[in-house]
Structure 1
């Protein structure tokens, strides 16, 4: 009888996303700040794309990479928020088996893309500050396109094993996922099999992608800071550092929540589950909200174009 029930339950057609266990009564209210962040993400990143497309003077490598980041942030947020809001507001907790693994792929793929874009931005700042006379010849449009394609290919190759491995495991324990989205580790932990292959590969990708990208960014900024420090005047140093300060702000806005969430998961025995799930949402959803704000406030070219756009409309 037990074997029959287990056999019937293996690989269910749907999973059930619980949302935030322990805070179900507050789901309606928790959804409000998340919905607000999503609206800011949509408005801010589409504004960045619109301004860069409209202004020929912004057709430079720095802004091409910024557009890549904006598109990545839009897709990353959209892969999570609509389903999350349907859970919080309409109690629509079911997600199709294949849709769950598709969501898993999109989340991890575009997170890897975002990390790679930060490396590309750091390389752009390195060339602009350390080899300014060769910037236009090194980072041509063709080179930028190749970098973009390399990031796309890297993401595909690294992340595709996530859903391929996870979808092969038999799921006969339960189909209830105590989360707001199909997080990789939360899904594979439901399998009634040895999932060490998925766990080890996930750890490898995390260490390889994030650690290597942080390493390359750090290596890029060592000669950048040396070049800035060697400038003759304080004003020149401040002005030059300002050109890469925005990139650093965006980088830290993305990696600090990830680092904080990782530390919390390492001490998960002392952390309530709802806090871990909230942090898992924050480190994915907050950076796409902050990125267009940071670039809009700190980048003079974008700020001026945005102000002129509104001034022109009022006139």
Structure 2
């Protein structure tokens, strides 16, 4: 408690008594802006992966599977569903912090976008925020794994209606086709380059010639010493074998999948929107 109070979490009243403050309040699970599940996931579940950091450095393999017996996604869906539910809540909590900045950067209200597919969209917080920001956007599709869609339907109250449709599937096989805009937040950094190209190829096949893709991820700037981005890069490595990427690395992935990186839009958070469009027929490599 003394250590936490020293860095601003909790207020120290005297030698043996402490009180909540604005920061420690967020650790409570009964407040609307709680980050309790996010902290428990990061400091609990992910800690095991970091105990195998040396293995990851030596082999390039994620430490999570060595620490927990199975890869991370299998662990969350099969080995410990309670941890999986906590992880999904943690992602929703983190999304609540960064989604407003992503929505402002996407600027759908001025884009003419009529339909949006959120790939791996979890509980739908970003999709709902995008639709709320753009009344002329008529249709949003929340696309994720069947178990996630069922949990989202049960726990968050999102149901298929006239404006939002819930669709379950595997984004390495197919995603809903023909939308104006495809969004994926915190997806590409989960995977190695080969898997990312597979996923982007699937997206490219679903896109029309005038569709756009926005990938929300941290973008490494080699000229800057950004502790948060480099820390996330390390977490992706030991947990999933993924990584954060530079602008040039994103461009290479997009090109390999028949997409052209058009711009990178910074946001008020640590994340940027990496925009891609289908290559013209003369440029198409996939």
TM-score tier by shorter-chain length is under 0.3
Q: TM-score, normalised by structure 1?
A: 0.26
Greater RCO (Cα-Cα under 8 Å, separation 6 or more)? 1
Higher strand share: 2
Which structure shows the higher helix fraction?
1
* Rg comparison, structure with higher value: 1
